[in-house]
Structure 1
Amino acid sequence: MERLQPEHISHTRHLFFTGKGGVGKTSTACATAVALANQGKRVLIVSTDPASNLQDVFGVSLKNQPTPVEGIDNLDAANLDPEEAARAYREKMIGPYRGILPEAALQSMEEQLSGACTVEIAAFDEFTNLLTDETTVQDYDHIIFDTAPTGHTLRLLQLPSAWSNFIDESTHGASCLGPLSGLEEKKDLYAKTVDALSDPSSTSLILVSRPDVSSLQEAKRAADELAEIGIKNQQLVLNGVFERKGDDEIALNYERKQQEALRLVSDFFESVQTYYLPLVPYNLTGMDALRKLFTDEVAHQSDQKSTNKNDNFSKLPSLIDEFADKQEGVIMTMGKGGVGKTTAASAIAVGLAEKGHTVHLTTTDPAAHLDQVVGDADLPGSLHMSRIDPKAEVETYKQDVLNNLDDNLTEDELAYVKEDLESPCTEEIAIFQAFAKVVDQAKGAFVVIDTAPTGHTLLLLDAAESYHREVERTKGESSEAVKNLLPRLRDPEQTQVVLVTLAEATPVFEASRLQVDLQRANIHPRWWVINQSFYETNTQDPVLKGRAQAEEPWIHRVDNEFAENVAIIGWQPDDLVGLQQLKQLATKA
């Protein structure tokens, strides 16, 4: 596997970087932009990520129009804010009804337009405006986009029925219906943009992944989605490949885990050209750091200062002790994929059971390894495990929707409904009833839930009109469990929320956005857990020691700006599967 150089991926004018949060899309895109600008190319780099740290990487304040990056010729940058665009779009849709419709109806409309789908389509709208503004972009040799649109968004925009009267007449309640209905005047503009993205002579897609299983799975999903609509000019960049120097125990184990994940690459990406970038011992911010990414020196720096751990952050047992004092309740672990929600939820459940409490642990993660926990006969207390199977719940939900559609729909209209049901919002709605039933079991016991519905979903289904429509479509009745759910989740005496993150820029920003989302639903997270921290280890490897030092400002930022309480879990050499390992994590101070 060859180490990435800018010329490997810069043979087209448009470069789109995509991948799950925290894999290094922004730093890789920025380093590529700097390298191409240093070669004399005129480069524009644009972010459409709501959690973008493009400004932090370059150390400059950016706007939604191209701005010269100080310190480097030929490079301009723009930071498009899709959330601001989504707010403007919501007001455009709702404003005419203010003073006409009841306040409750306006709130319901606003929440319908507050989900991930609206932001995603608003982001597409923003970069379409830029991409088609010839007076702005004609002077650039390369336009680099940090965060590409998903295959779902692009497929949705390609469906003829998305632009027909069907979007105004349908009552099936699809989650992407609202966002599209106000953008009909841009149909032709969007079609041209989608065509440009599919042209391999002008556009390349760079899939960025960490060398770990969950990141690779997400990259594979994105690759397949985008290939379905004709975006097949793809390259894969494995960012953060560890090059060990010495026999530090942490380093040996870290290398082993990466190599196990890398063996999956050839199975996942048979025809995709793959490159790698090494793990570097510092944060990729500032021009010096970005310029060094494509040189050989970066992986072997050994001049890292010792991390000064003079703070006394809590460990997981402190969190468990506080929860145990309440004797019963709901505990929800939340966070973006790959940060360790399942591990945290499992350890909390085991820790509470160790203290003699009855605990029901449930997860929506189909890959969660919890059978070993349930099967151990020596466990004090009573620990029960169940799994809400998102795939099964979604399939049942989809079938219910399709069974209740009008028989007179055209093929195009039916295609629209089916595509809309692939929305990321659909899964949350589909598992909502199962989630409500599980929460209802928290009477005289603890219910620990790995991955709960977001604040947006809870508000959406709390709105009378929205929930009535959901009940109508499934021909069901509003159960007591559903009626009681939101009040219970809002009561801190009954429910505690734990946000799980890593000590890195993107996971921290994404967790803070999730916290704001929950606060809109009047749910206030009690703890943040910073997982897999090198800061909490005694590694002597120069690269990993540098990573520990780079984590420190993010840990303090979480503590000072976002979290009511913070607990830190150190990097673990093995996947925490099985009772004994979870018990150790739950009890080791």
Structure 2
Amino acid sequence: MGGELLDSSLSSLVESQTLQWVFVGGKGGVGKTTTSSSLAVSLAQKKESVLLVSTDPAHNISDAFGQKFSKDPSKVRGMDNLSAMEVEVSADGSMRMLEESVGHSFGGAAGPSLFPALDELIKMVPGIDEAIAFGLLVETIRSMNYSTIVFDTAPTGHTLRLLGFPNLFEKAIPKIEELNNRFGGMLGTLGSVAGMNQGSEPINVTLGRMLKDLQDTVKQVTDQFQDPAKTTFVCVCIPEFLSVYETERLVQELSSFKIDVKNIVINQVIDLSKGVPAEALFAARSKIQMKYLKQIDELYAEDFHVVKVPILAEEIRGKDMIMKYSKMIMGANQKSFGLSSTSEYPGSLVNLIEQRALRWIFCGGKGGVGKTTTSCALATALAEDRAQNNLGPVLIISTDPAHNLSDAFKQRISPGGDPTKVLGFENLYAMEIEPQTAAESVLPREMLKDIAKFIPGVDELVSFSQIAKLVKSMEFSAVVFDTAPTGHTLKLLNFPKLFEKVLEQLGALKDRIDPLLQSLGPGLADSTGNPDLFTSANQSIDELKQVVAEVGEQMKDSERTTFVCVAIAEFLSVYETERLVQELFTLEIDSRNIVVNQLLDPEETDKLSLLKARSAMQQKYVTQIEDLYPRSEFHICKVPVRSEEIRGLDLLKSFAAGLTGEQ
């Protein structure tokens, strides 16, 4: 563990002559976009050409640079050799890539009826954005147009599945080839009936060629990603418990993928030793927040309950602190934050407690805004009320791949399976849906278990299955959802609509091949010994169709379902909240409460004590990071909280100078 200490900056990364792929990732809300954008700016000052790619569904690099980027690379204004793109899940982008790939593999004519179904899947299947990002990544690898490519990634859970795709293909391709060899003749017959064969070549032969091409491509990707001279991952975090915990998990997973990681950026450090007066720092950050708080009031105060919550000196973990926060969102000790409210709606979530017919309450927003804290506090208030009124227990479910309920309640919440009783509360239960565990309970075959571990979006899909079961059983008086960041949550809520459209496509295909399936059916049996495989499958689809219809109906019922938007008073969060509210309106899902967290009160009388307390809390986690990641093996770069927003090229250059040790 000894040896020479590495410098506390990213200068060696920027100076590297061999690096081609740089991933930047971590928990939501830690400053990934600022870090990746600034790093790309630094690299562009050293390299011939640099490309910055956003694979986060909630694209933020356009906001960071103050110019609009699209699915195609475009030059960053003011830098001739830096380009940027936002990988978008769209019919004219991802679908074009798929059509070209499928059309080529099927002799240039994949069949016009195939693409509408694919289009719906691409648009709405949860997590498919990482799958498409991976496809685009492969295309970029082949072209090699840029000296270095920097990725601004989605939050940890989804990014790990993106980087886990080589592992998935390594396990899946040999087994698919085995199935293709064993059942190729029957597949060719099915292809002929369905009109999928091209010319004289059966579909199983075409699939064989596709698998071989895919295998070669995946090997090239794996070789590059596992070469530390060519690929590295920069972990970004903030000095708080959940972020440090998630960083540790991220480093371990990256090591299992054999992906190099030796740079850690700690953002938003309150450093009162650098000569910046505490009063001045407090005033500057408070001024920024006030601008966006006014904007939130202008947008929503007329129609929403806007709940304003101050930043606390302590972490919100454990029963006592959750109960303290719960009282605050229920209206206790309300502060004006220097604004005179004209809203006729109280600034609290009491309206949700009083509406006892409510069954489904979703809490969502941008990463790092306090969704878990808000959902836990709301669930505790609901549980207390329901107990007093002799109603059923309350369940809180995490559908975020980076599960935080265990950390918030300071107790182990079992993944999947039966809900866990939350200690210290009479009728509150919690559940963290673990995609791999849940998938294995419904996917008996070993190959499907392996694939389910890395399939993008399997967490939301399995979550939806769990929701459907709860709708049928109705064991709880209310269910609160601690959701994934905005982009993935919207796709989860879109699932009933997706399922309805995909079933229409499957129904049309079924009508075409049903006669052949009926003739083959008696000779087929699945691994459980069921002789009537296709009848059983049809029954399962019909049952799921009915459940999905029930869920869709309840989600549109404002008496039974609502969505609480959680935000902080910063540009990206306000922008994402506006998008979220608009999407919820389109989906006909009720939304009438907005919680604005982490506010600095300009009327605070002891600003220095508050900042000192936050700084002391942070230092505990900075020390923990330094203990976990020794300086002989990791570059630990500590970045102080700034008195201004980091937006625009000039401020990104200034931030970059801090990352590379130039200031």
TM range (shorter): 0.5 to 0.7
Change over 3 Å in CA distance of 1:41–1:394 after alignment to 2: closer
Matches within 5 A, 1:470-549: 472=537, 478=543, 484-504=550-570, 507=573, 521-534=587-600, 538=604, 540=607
8 Å CA contact retained: 2:88, 2:94: yes
1:219 aligned onto 2:247: yes
Of the three residues 18, 38, 45, the one matched with 2:25 is: 18
Per the TM alignment, residue 315 of structure 1 is displaced from its structure 2 partner at its CA by: 12
AA partner of residue 206 (structure 1): V
8 Å CA contact retained: 2:409, 2:422: no
Per the TM alignment, residue 110 of structure 1 is displaced from its structure 2 partner at its CA by: 1.9
Match of 2:137 in 1: 127
8 Å CA contact retained: 1:332, 1:498: yes
8 Å CA contact retained: 2:225, 2:259: yes
Of the three residues 349, 354, 359, the one matched with 1:320 is: 349
The separation in 2 between residues aligned to 1:162 and 1:516, in whole angstroms, is: 45
Matches within 5 A, 1:86-235: 86-89=94-97, 110-111=120-121, 114-134=124-144, 136-137=145-146, 140=147, 142-147=148-153, 150=160, 151-159=163-171, 161=173, 164=176, 187-235=215-263
- Residue by residue over 1:385-428, the C-alpha shift from the partner in whole angstroms, topping out at 9 and shown as x without a partner, is 1123424x8525414312xx3xxxxxxxx446413344353333
AA partner of residue 395 (structure 2): T
Q: Secondary structure at the match of 2:597?
A: strand
8 Å CA contact retained: 2:23, 2:152: yes
Per the TM alignment, residue 496 of structure 1 is displaced from its structure 2 partner at its CA by: 0.9
8 Å CA contact retained: 2:30, 2:267: yes
Once structures 1 and 2 are overlaid, which stretch shifts more, 52-61 or 505-514?
Answer: 505-514
AA partner of residue 13 (structure 1): L
Change over 3 Å in CA distance of 1:552–1:229 after alignment to 2: closer
Q: Which has the higher contact order (CA 8 A, sep 6+)?
A: 2
The separation in 2 between residues aligned to 1:427 and 1:360, in whole angstroms, is: 25
AA partner of residue 555 (structure 2): L
The separation in 2 between residues aligned to 1:218 and 1:421, in whole angstroms, is: 18
The separation in 2 between residues aligned to 1:397 and 1:34, in whole angstroms, is: 42
AA partner of residue 243 (structure 1): D
Report the TM-score, using the length of structure 2 for normalisation: 0.57
Of the three residues 371, 374, 378, the one matched with 1:344 is: 374
Matches within 5 A, 1:402-421: 402=444, 405=445, 414-415=446-447, 417-421=449-453
Per the TM alignment, residue 369 of structure 1 is displaced from its structure 2 partner at its CA by: 1.6
Q: Secondary structure at the match of 1:487?
A: helix
Of the three residues 51, 56, 73, the one matched with 2:58 is: 51
Of the three residues 419, 430, 437, the one matched with 1:387 is: 430
AA partner of residue 255 (structure 2): A
The separation in 1 between residues aligned to 2:381 and 2:12, in whole angstroms, is: 52
Match of 1:398 in 2: 440
Per the TM alignment, residue 348 of structure 1 is displaced from its structure 2 partner at its CA by: 3.0
AA partner of residue 489 (structure 1): M
8 Å CA contact retained: 1:18, 1:147: yes
Per the TM alignment, residue 4 of structure 1 is displaced from its structure 2 partner at its CA by: 2.1
The separation in 1 between residues aligned to 2:577 and 2:170, in whole angstroms, is: 32
Structure 2, unpaired ranges of 5+: 1-5, 104-108, 185-206, 283-309, 318-335, 399-404, 412-419, 508-532, 615-639, 648-663
8 Å CA contact retained: 2:234, 2:262: yes
AA partner of residue 351 (structure 2): E
Once structures 1 and 2 are overlaid, which stretch shifts more, 189-198 or 449-458?
Answer: 449-458
Per the TM alignment, residue 19 of structure 1 is displaced from its structure 2 partner at its CA by: 2.0
1:455 aligned onto 2:518: no
8 Å CA contact retained: 2:69, 2:84: yes
8 Å CA contact retained: 2:555, 2:561: yes
Q: Secondary structure at the match of 2:427?
A: strand
Q: Percent identity?
A: 22
AA partner of residue 199 (structure 1): D
The separation in 2 between residues aligned to 1:334 and 1:167, in whole angstroms, is: 42
The separation in 1 between residues aligned to 2:468 and 2:578, in whole angstroms, is: 25
**Equivalent residues, number:** 469
Q: Secondary structure at the match of 1:329?
A: coil
AA partner of residue 568 (structure 2): L
Of the three residues 7, 12, 36, the one matched with 1:7 is: 12
- Residue by residue over 1:122-160, the C-alpha shift from the partner in whole angstroms, topping out at 9 and shown as x without a partner, is 1122233334324x32xx4x4333238533233224445
AA partner of residue 54 (structure 1): I
Structure 1, unpaired ranges of 5+: 171-179, 261-306, 378-382, 406-413, 554-589
Bigger Rg, which one: 2
* RMSD of Structure 2 on Structure 1 (CA): 5.1
